[in-house]
Amino acid sequence: MRMEALGRDFSGFVKDQITDLYRNPVFFSKMKNPIFFGEVVRRVPASGWSSLPVRNLSSGMASTTGIRLGYGKTFGLLLRGNYLNQPSNFSSNMPGGFYTFDNTVDTKNREIWAEAQIAMGFPLSEKLSCGVSYTFGMSEILDSYESTSNRCGNHLSFSNYDSTYDARQSLRENYQKGKSHITRVGLLWNKAKGISWDFVATVELFSANISIEDNYQHIRDYTYRSINSSIFSSTSENFSLNKGLVSVDIEATNLRFDLHFLNSSNEMKTFAVQFGARVSSFSSDDRDDSFNYSESFHESSSDTSKNILSLSSNSVALPDGFGFQINGGTGWTFQLDDFLLAAAVLGNFRYLNYEYDVHRQISDTSTTITPDTTITLKAYQDARSIHHDHKVTLYRIALPLGVEYQLIKNLCLRAGWVVQFLGSINKETSIEKSSRVISNRLDYSTATFGIGYRISDKFIADLLNLGEIGRPRDWNLSLIFSF
């Protein structure tokens, strides 16, 4: 948490034991005393899905409370995860055009995210060390909305309607389940005292399933009397909209390589350079979206029935493609008695290219039946196949600044601030449209704040704030104990 208080961009530039252990497993080989740490965190970093252009797929929870537990020596274990369950139920009386409706809404929002990592580091020679780690992660998200509405009385006393039945029901559900397997292999070469190179290779495998269901139905029977007339006409209506059940399997692979150089031979200042590259590929099976709309109508006075049926189906291949990322930077730290200053210059470039096809079929049919005739009209029919091609470029230049000051014995204050330039170019091409959207912005609002307190020689507590300092729920807590 010390590193996050100075700024997440300083990972690898500023020496920090916990950060280095899980940045590269080779640093487990340098542990002299075992440590145990626990953290209560308000925000959990997004999963690897954030690098993929997949619609409707969550990248992880951003504002729920989670727990991290870790142990490290030559062997390390890290457990972290979040759990959120927020069901709700409420009822209300909702005025309609002529009536009041009794409306009941049930919602479910359940999110689970967990990771378990094992790591080990060991020396190969006097100057060369090696480390390996394996991480298994899982996530599960359920977001559902169910609404039922029934007529419960007249809303306007002068109404000419006398409804005998009016019910509406809506159901929307989005369920996602994902798994990840991450393997890291790291090397550390101590070239000379205070001068080192470390390298880490990462293989990330992701898989997920998404299922979406959306249905709506409205059934109504009513009688109607014209103004100043005693003649009643009864009408029955049945309206339903069914988008069907969508289920998709998605797979992705990331290969990443990071190289880092550190010169800390001068105790008053350090210098670091790092370079990284990542290659990604992602694929999925085809998704079938069905859209069924039906409406039936019968009026007793004219003995007339009308049926409307609209059928639409889309066979969509979710994005299949590849991407790559290049990042690099240089950082410095300056130590002056009780004051630490850290500064860096960072650059990041990402490119994604993905394609998919949409096979669309639409058919609209209307049938009217009277005592004398039957009329069937096919209003519209269409079938086409559309190929979409996307090219996305993302770039970032950042200038982070971090400070740490020992206010009194055993108590440190930390703060971080970053100025960053963010840009993107999104190009889409198909037979229906062609677009090129460019976005650039300068952001200087990202700031962090933290407090560190050494309770004893072996016990350290850290506090981190990523939001409002005066709001308790925006604070994170970390405890580190050295044996």
* Beta-carbon contacts of residue 280 (< 8 Å; ≥ 6 apart): 51, 52, 252, 253, 254, 255, 322, 323, 324, 325, 352
What digits encode the pLDDT tens for the residues 74-117? Answer: 888 888 887 777 777 777 665 555 556 677 888 888 888 888 99
3-state secondary structure the chain: CHHHHHCHHHECCECCHHHHHHHCHHHHHHCCCCEEEEEEECCCCCCHHHHCCCCCCCCCCCCCCEEEEEEECCEEEEEEEEEEECCEEEEEEEECCCEEEEEEEEEEEEEEEEEEEEEEEEECCCCEEEEEEEEEEEEEEEEEEEEEEEEEEECCCCCCEEEEEEEEEEEEEEEEEEEEEEEEEEEEEEEECCEEEEEEEEEEEEEEEEEEEEEEEEEEEEEEECCCCCCEEEEEEEEEEEEEEEEEEEEEEEEEEEEEEEECCCCCEEEEEEEEEEEEEEEECEEEEEEEEEEEEEECCCCEEEEEEEEEEEEEECCEEEEEEEEEEEEEEEEECCEEEEEEEEEEEEEEEEEEEEEEEEEEEEEEECCCCEEEEEEEEEEEEEEEEEEEEEEEEEEEEEEEEEEECCEEEEEEEEEEEEEEEEEEECCCCEEEEEEEEEEEEEEEEEEEEEEECCEEEEEEECCCCCCHHHEEEEEEEEC
Q: Give pLDDT tens digits for 116-143.
A: 999 999 999 989 999 999 999 888 888 8
List the single range of 154-163, 284-293, 420-429, 444-453 with lowest mean pLDDT: 154-163
Q: Could you tell me which residue, 340 or 305, shows the higher pLDDT?
A: 340
Across residues 15-34, what is the average pLDDT? 85
If one counts every other C-beta atom within 10 angstroms of the C-beta of residue 458, the result is: 12
Task: Among 207-211, 342-346, 466-470, name the most confident range.
Answer: 342-346
| Mean predicted confidence (pLDDT) in 316-337 | 84
Is the Cβ–Cβ distance between 38 and 212 less than 8 Å? no
Token pair recorded at residue 395: 């770039």
Q: Average pLDDT, whole number, for the chain? A: 78
Q: Which of 71-80, 218-227, 439-448 is least confident?
A: 218-227
State the pLDDT at residue 241: 60
- Using the predicted structure, report yes or no on whether residue 57 has a pLDDT greater than 70: no
Rounded mean pLDDT, 280-305: 67
Angstrom distance (rounded) from CA 388 to CA 318: 10
pTM score: 0.78
Predicted pLDDT of residue 73:
84
| 258 vs 445 pLDDT, higher one | 258
Q: How far, in Å, are 212, 289, 290, 310, 314 from residue 385 at the CA level?
A: 23, 14, 16, 19, 10
Q: Are 116 and 90 in contact, with CB atoms under 8 Å apart?
A: no
> For the chain, how far is it from start to end, CA to CA, in angstroms?
20
| Spatial separation of the C-alpha atoms in residues 321 and 343, rounded to whole Å | 37
Q: pLDDT value at position 378?
A: 62
The residue behind tokens 């998709």 is 248
Domain positions in the chain? 86-444
Check residue 226 and give its pLDDT: 46
Percent of the chain with pLDDT over 70: 70
The confidence score (pLDDT) of residue 467 equals: 65
* Residue 228: per-residue pLDDT: 47
Residue 58 vs residue 286, higher pLDDT: 286
**Considering only 76-85, 397-406, 410-419, which range has the smallest mean pLDDT?**
76-85
pLDDT in tens, 178-202: 898 999 999 999 988 889 999 999 9
